[in-house]
């Protein structure tokens, strides 16, 4: 029995578990599911290095910074971690981001040349809102699919919502994610609270649900555009790095959109 | 010319094509390499498997090949070839108007060559607009508000210098302003491809048409909102259309939104050649039917008449192309080529 090795494995797996909670703000998917994180190195002294790569060299600098910062926060919350160092690779401003996150600087300070508008917290809130609306649309459409009428959905309590079982694996996966945001944002906490309200907390009136859903669909269409492109680009990039010879010949897989992109990064 | 399965002829103007040189020999720095690499990744991730090009061909292709892909193997009758300089990334530019015009000269009546300008050049931008009008007789330009220049990481259509350029364009009859508002290939500030500046410019320049390439995606809702308000705002389908292959349901949702908000008279087909070739795009588009639930929900349909407008008639109207006369000209040209 090799105790130090076991401890090391356990720590590595703890880091991966924490990283799985970090999402890409635009895609609302975990950075580990998306295959962004390439490897994790845990030192005996409690230092953790996290190497990650985004779909392109051009991926938005503020999103990259946000993810690096979220990774640092998530991993640092493990009690044995001394320092968590996310390292972004092959990105236009990788050095600035890595240094900025490590030194705990603000985005505006770390990337002054990009003259970012607004703070990172504002950006976080904007994307939390989008994630909320996207998850909410999935839940409402699924309820309609199960035969619930609009008035029932609008006045459904958190308790009743908890009771509903969804057969579709994707909807079932999104249910706790939606619920988690309801609580995090403080929109519904008690069993009798309404399960479906607007992000600002206002109830959705039954005759407004159709137009409300129309707006949510707009949010989703935009997010899906990004996520399809990003996943496609990431699959291409991973193949190139795996080949070692960036795309001199046609790659074996094309037109994958989001569905067939291999998110493991191990192709 | 696209011939439908029932034998009908459809006139096609490809609203968005490029004749670029992204080869390593022309790359000025790592950004130049990464830029064309990113385009290539778009190409590989959204094209059908049998339409993939090798990387070196993608980086730089010949005029002959472009002609063949668009007009011989492809269904285009005419193509609008856009100019994008990216002078900070490429030694002699990515696809300059001179390179485009040189290519177009070889193929009479096929190409509409558009120019480009950068309002941050101030007086020189105005001089350049005069030069392009006098030398190439341009009717349109392609603007790239996110292009880097020195310390600047982008500009807005509402900048005072941009307004001076638009005043001149309006005066000289350069009426079609194509604006890249699409995926953030060059990220800079996240707002560089924000579409709201279009709203103001379109209101203030009623004599100009603003064609928003890529329909502002991923800001489709903002774009639709503006297009509803402004009668002179159009949407270009480049990059949205290739989803028709890998994610047809998603394409259906996007085109339904566009048909509902923007309308079939204001949507333009564009292949974004050489990121994608037009043949498979036009074939799939023609055969595409909106799913019944979306038709009902939006109260719209993608009828053959709507498809004809999108594929060519709308662009013909914007560029003053007399479709019947053009068809006759091209038929004569083809006959002359065949006979000669």
Q: Which domains does chain A have, with CATH numbers?
A: 3-117 (3.30.300.130), 122-214 (no CATH)
Task: Supply the range of the domain harboring residue B318.
Answer: 1-113+272-280+301-340
Q: Do A248 and B151 touch (CB under 8 A)?
A: no
Percent of chain A with pLDDT over 70: 87
Query: Is cis: bond before A184, omega within 30 of 0?
Result: no
pLDDT value at position B115? Answer: 97
pLDDT value at position A114? Answer: 63
Instruction: Give the range among A110-124, A204-218, B16-30, B59-73 with minimum mean pLDDT.
Output: A110-124
Instruction: Name the pLDDT band for A251 (thresholds 50, 70, 90).
Output: very low
pLDDT value at position A256? Answer: 24
Residue B255 lies in a domain: no
Tell me what ipTM this predicted complex has. 0.82
Contacts with B56 from chain A: Cβ below 8 Å: 248
pLDDT value at position A137? Answer: 97
Residue B227 lies in a domain: no
Spans of chain B below 50 pLDDT? 186-190, 338-340
pLDDT value at position A72? Answer: 96
Instruction: Name the pLDDT band for A244 (thresholds 50, 70, 90).
Output: low
Instruction: Name the pLDDT band for A6 (thresholds 50, 70, 90).
Output: confident
A219: contact with B, CB 8 A cutoff: yes
pLDDT value at position A227? Answer: 81
Reported as half-sphere exposure (CB side, CA atoms, 13 A), residue B67 has a value of: 12
Q: Do A218 and B221 touch (CB under 8 A)?
A: yes
pLDDT value at position A58? Answer: 81
Residue B221 lies in a domain: no
Q: Find all residues with CB under 8 Å of B65, minimum gap 6, and list them.
A: B57
pLDDT at A243 over 80: no
Residue B103 lies in a domain: yes
Instruction: Name the pLDDT band for A248 (thresholds 50, 70, 90).
Output: very low
Q: Do A60 and B246 touch (CB under 8 A)?
A: no
Burial of B4 (C-beta count, 10 Å sphere; 0-12/13-18/19+) = middle
* Shortest alpha-carbon distance between residue B139 and chain A (Å): 31
A245: contact with B, CB 8 A cutoff: no
Residue in chain A nearest B250 by alpha carbon: A221
B265 in Cβ contact with B309 (< 8 Å): yes
Q: Do A251 and B52 touch (CB under 8 A)?
A: yes
Residue B326 lies in a domain: yes
pLDDT value at position B120? Answer: 96
A25, A55, A58: which to substitute to probe chain B, counting the most B Cβ within 10 Å?
A58
Residue B318 lies in a domain: yes
pLDDT at A71 over 80: yes
Separation of alpha carbons B39 and B142, rounded Å: 18
Residue A258 has φ and ψ, to the nearest 5°, of -90, -25
pLDDT value at position B189? Answer: 46
Higher pLDDT, B150 or A211: A211
Residue B157 lies in a domain: no
A209: contact with B, CB 8 A cutoff: no
State the residue for tokens 């001149």.
Answer: B168
**Torsion, Cα of B235, B238, B239, B244 (10° steps):** 90
B256 in Cβ contact with B298 (< 8 Å): yes
Higher pLDDT, A116 or B135: B135
Q: Do B48 and A113 touch (CB under 8 A)?
A: no
Residue B195 lies in a domain: no
B139 in Cβ contact with B176 (< 8 Å): yes
A216: contact with B, CB 8 A cutoff: no
Q: How many CB atoms lie within 10 A of CB B224?
A: 22
Q: Can you give the pTM of this predicted structure?
A: 0.86
A11-35 burial, b at 16+ Cβ within 10 Å, e below that, comes to beebbeebbeebbbbbbbbbbbebb
Split into its structural domains, chain B has a count of 1
């Amino acid at each position: 029995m090799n105790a130090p090795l076991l401890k090391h494995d356990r720590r590595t797996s703890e880091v991966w578990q924490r990283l799985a909670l970090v999402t890409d703000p635009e895609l609302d998917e975990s950075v580990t599911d998306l295959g962004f994180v390439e490897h994790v190195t845990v030192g005996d002294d409690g230092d953790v290095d996290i190497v990650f790569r985004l779909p392109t060299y051009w991926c938005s600098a503020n999103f990259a910074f946000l993810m690096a910062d979220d990774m640092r926060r998530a991993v640092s919350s493990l009690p044995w971690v001394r320092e968590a160092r996310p390292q972004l690779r092959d990105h236009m401003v990788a050095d600035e981001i890595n240094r900025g996150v490590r030194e705990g600087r603000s985005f505006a300070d770390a990337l002054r040349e990009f003259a970012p508008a607004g703070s990172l917290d504002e950006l976080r809130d904007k994307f939390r809102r989008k994630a909320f609306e996207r998850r909410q649309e999935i839940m409402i459409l699924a309820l309609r699919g199960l035969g619930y009428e609009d008035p029932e959905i609008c006045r459904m309590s958190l308790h009743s919502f908890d009771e509903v079982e969804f057969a579709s694996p994707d909807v079932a996966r999104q249910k706790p994610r939606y619920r988690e945001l309801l609580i995090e944002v403080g929109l519904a906490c008690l069993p009798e609270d309404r399960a479906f309200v607007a992000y600002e907390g206002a109830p959705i009136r039954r005759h407004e649900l159709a137009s409300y859903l129309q707006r949510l669909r707009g949010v989703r269409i935009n997010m899906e555009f990004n996520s399809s492109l990003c996943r496609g680009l990431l699959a291409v990039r991973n193949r190139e790095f795996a080949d070692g010879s960036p795309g001199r010949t046609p790659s074996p897989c094309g037109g994958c959109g989001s569905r067939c992109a291999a998110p493991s990064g191990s192709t | 010319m696209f011939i439908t399965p029932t034998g009908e002829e459809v006139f096609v103007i490809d609203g968005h094509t490029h004749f670029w040189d992204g080869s390593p020999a022309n790359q000025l720095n790592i950004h130049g390499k990464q830029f064309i690499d990113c385009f290539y990744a778009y190409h590989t991730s959204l094209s059908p498997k049998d339409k993939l090009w090798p990387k070196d061909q993608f980086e730089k292709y010949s005029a002959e090949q472009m002609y063949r892909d668009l007009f011989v193997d492809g269904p285009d009758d005419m193509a609008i070839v856009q100019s994008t300089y990216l002078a900070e990334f490429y030694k002699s530019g990515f696809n300059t108007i001179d390179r485009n015009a040189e290519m177009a000269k070889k193929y009479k009546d096929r190409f509409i060559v558009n120019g480009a300008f950068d309002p941050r050049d101030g007086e020189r931008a105005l001089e350049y607009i005069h030069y392009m009008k006098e030398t190439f007789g341009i009717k349109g330009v392609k603007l790239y508000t996110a292009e880097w220049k020195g310390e600047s990481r982008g500009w807005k259509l509402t900048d005072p210098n941009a307004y001076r350029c638009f005043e001149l364009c309006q005066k000289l009859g350069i009426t079609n302003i194509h604006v890249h508002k699409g995926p953030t290939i060059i990220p800079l500030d996240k707002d560089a491809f924000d579409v709201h500046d279009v709203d103001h410019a379109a209101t203030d320049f009623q004599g100009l048409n603003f064609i928003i390439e890529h329909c502002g995606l991923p800001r489709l809702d903002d774009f639709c909102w503006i297009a509803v308000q402004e009668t002179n705002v159009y949407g270009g389908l480049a990059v949205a259309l290739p989803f028709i292959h890998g994610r047809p349901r998603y394409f259906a949702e996007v085109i339904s939104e566009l048909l509902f908000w923007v309308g079939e008279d204001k949507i333009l087909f564009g292949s974004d050649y050489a990121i994608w070739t037009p043949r498979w795009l036009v074939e799939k588009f023609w055969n595409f039917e909106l799913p019944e639930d979306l038709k009902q929900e939006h109260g719209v349909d993608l009828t053959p008449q709507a498809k004809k407008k999108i594929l060519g008639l709308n662009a013909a109207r914007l560029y003053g192309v007399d479709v019947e006369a053009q068809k006759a000209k091209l038929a004569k040209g083809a006959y002359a080529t065949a006979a000669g």
